[in-house]
A and B are shown apart, each in its own frame.
Chain A
C-alpha cells in the first residue's frame, strides 16, 4: 500500500515566508527519485530548485505556476512506497506543549481588593491579613494613600464599637426594645457624629414680612382647601439659597477624595411620627414654584400621617430641615445632628416675639431662630455665615420666594 506524503514549502532561508512557483519540473504520475528537483520556486532572496525528500510518484500539485506558495503549507503530494519511512520537515514539527498545562490558579478571592483606594503594598497586605476593607478606611497620606496610622485609627474605632462601655442597669428598669425606626435613628446618629466634624451657627431673623406673606397666600389657598404652613416658605428659601451656594447641597466621597455636588435639591423634612423620627424627602425642589411646594408638602404630610410614605419618599435627601417649632413650646436654639451623608442641617424654632433694640427704643417683633449645623470638612465658618445670611435675607424679605 502506498502512502501519501504531503511536501510543504520549506523554510528556504532566513525568514522567507512565501515564494512564487515558477515551474513544475515533473508531471503528475511521473516517478520522482529522492533528492531529484521537482519544482522551481522564486523568493525575493533566491530562485531555488526544491528536491524530492522521498522517492515515489508525483501525486498532486497544490500550487499553479505564477501562484504563491506559503511556508509550511502544502506544495505537492508524493505517493511514497510502503517501505519508505518519512519524517516531517522543520516547518511541520513543533515542540509539543506539555500534556499537563500549567495549573490555572484561580485568583484568590480577596474581599479587600479596594482598587480605588491608594495604598502601598505593605498596607494592602496588612489589610488583607486583618480582613479590613480599605474602602472603609479614611486616608491621610501625603499622596492620598491609607497610612499605618489610618489603619490604627480605623481599628480603634471598630474595637471601641465592639467593646462597648457598660450601661447602667438598675433592677426595676422597664425595658423597651431598640428596634425599627428608633434603632435606625440610633445607628444613623452615631455614624453621623463619628464621621462628621460638626460646627454650629446661629442666626436670628425678623419674620414680620414673612408672616404677612403667608397670611395672604393662606387666604388664597383656603379657597381650594389647601393648608399653608410656614414650611413651604422655609423650603423654598433654602432651595433659593442652595442655588447660590451649591456646595451646601453635596456629599463627601472620601474613597474618591472628592465632593459630590448634587444637582437636585432634595429637601429632607424631619417628621415626628408615632414610631419615631423620620425624614421625608421632597424631591427636585429646585424645579418647583412656591405653589408647587405647598401642594407637594401637603401631600407628603398626608402620606406620612397615614403611614403611606413610599421608599422613594424616604431616600436621597441632599439637605434636611428640622422644624422643632411645630412641637410647640418655647424652644429657641438647637444643635441638630447632620443627616449623614449631607453637609448641613437647619433646625427652626417657632416664630416668637422677642424684644429688639431699634433706634434706642425697645420694640417687640416676631423672630425666627435659625440653628445650623455644618460639616466642617466641607464648609468653613465664612461660608456658613454667608449662607445663613442669604437665607435670613430671604426670610426677612420674602418677595423672591414667590
Chain B
C-alpha cells in the first residue's frame, strides 16, 4: 500500500472522484492551474478542464456565494478557502444562506457544498495563518463540521463528504499537511461522518481531541503510560457536528475523568460544549471536574507559538491534575 501525506491523499481523492462524477467542480484562489497554494488541487485543471477546476477572483464571500448557486443547480461543488483565517468575509453566506437553505425552503433547495480550508497553528503563521475557527460554525444549526487528522482520515472523510447531502466545513490541519505520512488504500473507501475514532483504549482518563491536536494527545498518552502508569483512552472526534455522543458518554462513564484539548482559545471553544454534554450525561460517574486544555484566550502569537499551543507537555499536565484531583 502506498504511503502518502495528507495533501497527496486529498489530491488522489479528488482525482478519483472527479473521474467518477462529472458533476464535481472545485475552485478557489490559485486553485486552478496552479493547483492551490498547498497543491491540494494540483493536476485537476489539466485533467478536467477550466470549467471544473478554476481560479476564482480574490473573494471568499464570492467563492462561497457563487458556490452556493452552483450547488443549487446540481453541481457537487468543493470550494477552497486558502486559509481558515480568511473565511470570515464568507460568514454571512455560510451562516445565513448555506446553513439555512434546506430549512428555509422546506427542502425545495439545498446547498450541499463542501468548503475545504487549512486551519490551525504550528507553522509560525502568527495571527492570520493559524486560527482554529471551528467553534464559530458549530453554533450554527445546519452545518456539518469535519476535521481531518491524518492521510487515511483525509481520503475517507473527503469521499464521505462528497457523497453527503449536507453543507460541510472540511478543516485540514496545515501543521500536518506534509509532516505525517502513512499507508492509504488505493481504492475508494469512506469513513462515516459522525463517528469518532478511539485508537487507544484506557481505563483511567478520557482524552478528547481532533485534527493535529489528536497527535499531541496520543504522544501525551504514551508518556503518561510509561512514566506515570496512567492508562489514557484517546478519542479522535473526526466529526465535530454531528457529534458521536454515545462514544463520549461510554468512555467517560468508564473512566470517570475527562480532559478535552483543542488549539482554539478556551472560552466558548468546542471544549465548552463537550464539557456541558459530558456533565449532563456522565454526572454521577465524574471523579473530577472536566478539564479543558486549550489555546489561551489571546490572538495566536508568533514567537511564543510553542508556549501557546496545548502540545503534549500541557496535555500531560492537565491529565495529571485530573487524575490527582
Direct contact of A and B (CB under 8 A): yes
Give the B-binding residues of A (Cβ under 8 A): 120-122, 124-125, 142-143
Closest to B283 in A: A121
Q: A120-B287, A143-B325 are in contact. List 14 more A-B contacts (CB 8 A).
A: A120-B286, A120-B288, A120-B325, A121-B283, A121-B284, A121-B285, A121-B286, A122-B256, A122-B284, A122-B285, A122-B286, A122-B287, A125-B284, A142-B324
Q: Mark B287-300, 1 if CB is under 8 A from A, else 0.
A: 11000000000000
How distant is the Cα of A121 from the Cα of B256 in the complex, in angstroms? 10
Q: Mark B303-325, 1 if CB is under 8 A from A, else 0.
A: 00000000000000000000011
| Contacts of B237-274 to chain A: CB distance below 8 A | 256
**A residues within 8 A CB of B324?**
142
How distant is the Cα of A122 from the Cα of B325 in the complex, in angstroms? 13
**B residues within 8 A CB of A122?**
256, 284-287
Closest to A125 in B: B284
A-B contact pairs, 19 of them (CB 8 A): A120-B286, A120-B287, A120-B288, A120-B325, A121-B283, A121-B284, A121-B285, A121-B286, A122-B256, A122-B284, A122-B285, A122-B286, A122-B287, A124-B284, A125-B284, A125-B285, A142-B324, A142-B325, A143-B325
How distant is the Cα of A124 from the Cα of B256 in the complex, in angstroms? 13
For B, the interface residue count at a CB cutoff of 8 angstroms equals 9
Closest 4 CB pairs of A and B: A125-B284, A121-B286, A122-B287, A121-B283
How distant is the Cα of A377 from the Cα of B283 in the complex, in angstroms? 35
How distant is the Cα of A94 from the Cα of B256 in the complex, in angstroms? 45
Interface of A is mostly: helix
Instruction: Tally A-B pairs: CB < 8 A.
Output: 19
| Contacts of B198-234 to chain A: CB distance below 8 A | none
How distant is the Cα of A381 from the Cα of B256 in the complex, in angstroms? 42
How near does chain B come to A32, taking the closest CB pair, in angstroms?
Answer: 38
How near does chain A come to B249, taking the closest CB pair, in angstroms?
Answer: 14
| Contacts of B62-82 to chain A: CB distance below 8 A | none
How distant is the Cα of A71 from the Cα of B286 in the complex, in angstroms? 50
**B residues within 8 A CB of A143?**
325
How distant is the Cα of A53 from the Cα of B283 in the complex, in angstroms? 55
How near does chain B come to A142, taking the closest CB pair, in angstroms?
Answer: 8
How near does chain A come to B286, taking the closest CB pair, in angstroms?
Answer: 5
How distant is the Cα of A122 from the Cα of B286 in the complex, in angstroms? 5
Closest to A124 in B: B284
B256, B288, B325 interface centre (most CB from chain A within 10 Å):
B325
Closest to B288 in A: A120
**A residues within 8 A CB of B256?**
122
**B residues within 8 A CB of A120?**
286-288, 325
How near does chain A come to B253, taking the closest CB pair, in angstroms?
Answer: 10
**A residues within 8 A CB of B283?**
121
How distant is the Cα of A121 from the Cα of B325 in the complex, in angstroms? 13
How distant is the Cα of A120 from the Cα of B284 in the complex, in angstroms? 8
How distant is the Cα of A124 from the Cα of B274 in the complex, in angstroms? 23
**B residues within 8 A CB of A142?**
324-325
How distant is the Cα of A120 from the Cα of B283 in the complex, in angstroms? 9
How near does chain A come to B281, taking the closest CB pair, in angstroms?
Answer: 12
How distant is the Cα of A177 from the Cα of B253 in the complex, in angstroms? 52
How distant is the Cα of A291 from the Cα of B50 in the complex, in angstroms? 113
How distant is the Cα of A122 from the Cα of B284 in the complex, in angstroms? 5
Closest to A126 in B: B284
How near does chain B come to A362, taking the closest CB pair, in angstroms?
Answer: 62
How distant is the Cα of A168 from the Cα of B288 in the complex, in angstroms? 48
**B residues within 8 A CB of A125?**
284-285
How distant is the Cα of A333 from the Cα of B216 in the complex, in angstroms? 67
How distant is the Cα of A120 from the Cα of B286 in the complex, in angstroms? 7
